Structure 1
Amino acid sequence: MVKPTLALCAALLAQPAFAALPQVTDLSLDAANRLAGAAIAACAAQGRAIVVSVVDRGGNLVVVQRADGVGPHNTEASRRKAYTALSTRSATLDLARNAAAEPDTRNLASLPELLLLGGGVPLRVEDQVVGAIGVAGGGGARNDHACALAAVSTLAAFERPSIN
């Protein structure tokens, strides 16, 4: 009788500590693959071949997909765009525009992992950034950004980013 009572007391005491932990949504491999496929399809519909990278909330690479014929430098560019969007919680096209206009923002370009070039978009679920997508090779920052936005809009789980 004493052991069950002690176990119940221990469970009740542990409850408040567990309740204080934040609840987080994780980016699944399936969602990352679907995003990547949607980005490639969106650009292919415009006659553009891209590389797309998707990172999770910790900046870990979940998926990289490359269409045929895309230059090898675009693989790293797509990863860095995704990382930058995640890290700053901002679309990289917005960051690039702000850097051109604001001297203080220009300093972000000196950080080794950040890439202030359009094509990176954070992925939000219930106002939490759960990851990011990065697109490169689509023929310019606006095209890359548009393909990333198109991909995000295909999955209902993600909040719609603002279109700039």
Structure 2
Amino acid sequence: MTNKLHQVVLSISALSICALSNPVWAQDLSTQKILPLELSAQAAMAAVKKCHDDGFKVSVAIVDQSGLVKVQLKADGAGPHTLDSSRRKAYTANSLRDSTQKYAMLVAQKPELQGLARMNENILLLGGGFPIKIGGEVVGGIGVGGAPGIQFDEVCASAALKVLKADDTFESK
């Protein structure tokens, strides 16, 4: 009986080695672009500075590809609610792969899409969030909250996208 067990183990080992060394399977492994922490921090600071220079006290959040906070900054004097709004805008832009203002306008125009706003507790369909695209791939999202109008939040978020050298830089509409 041990001789048969030994043969089974050897057969399974041989099949495993063949399967793992098969180049077709290796092609299934994907590579993922990662947003570096230092660059994320520089971008977030650029957004805070832009808003500060324009007279606004905001919070900025940058999330990674999975929607988790990579960097979050709260300017001196920014309201506590701005932390949550910036994080949720960044999450939404990353998750939905487009600007939060675009989705806010879409839901306003098409009431049947209102369910988008309630997909989960992290979604916030309010302008000020953009996906971060590098090399055509969404690698995260940025959200700014606290300026007196989404157009101002968007200008500050665009300053961060420039630091990141993101594929798309958005202009306030």
When normalised by structure 2's length, the TM-score is 0.83
Determine whether 1:19 maps to 2:27.
yes
Residue of structure 2 in register with 1:73 after alignment: 81
Query: How many matched pairs?
Result: 156
Structure 2: which amino acid aligns with 1:135? Answer: V
When normalised by structure 1's length, the TM-score is 0.87
Residues of 2 paired with 1:71 and 1:83: CA distance?
A: 20
Residue of structure 2 in register with 1:120 after alignment: 129
Residues of 1 paired with 2:130 and 2:25: CA distance?
A: 34
Please tell me whether the aligned partners of residues 35 and 64 of structure 2 are also in contact (alpha carbons under 8 angstroms): yes
Residue of structure 2 in register with 1:153 after alignment: 162
Q: CA deviation at 1:162?
A: 3.9
Moved segments of 4+, more than 3 Å: 9-12
Residue of structure 2 in register with 1:134 after alignment: 143
Q: Unpaired segments of 5 or more residues in structure 2?
A: 1-13
Please tell me whether the aligned partners of residues 93 and 142 of structure 1 are also in contact (alpha carbons under 8 angstroms): no
Please tell me whether the aligned partners of residues 122 and 131 of structure 1 are also in contact (alpha carbons under 8 angstroms): yes
Residue of structure 2 in register with 1:3 after alignment: none
Identity %: 37
Residues of 1 paired with 2:112 and 2:170: CA distance?
A: 24
Residues of 2 paired with 1:68 and 1:33: CA distance?
A: 16
Q: 135-144 vs 11-20, which deviates more?
A: 11-20
Q: CA deviation at 1:110?
A: 2.1
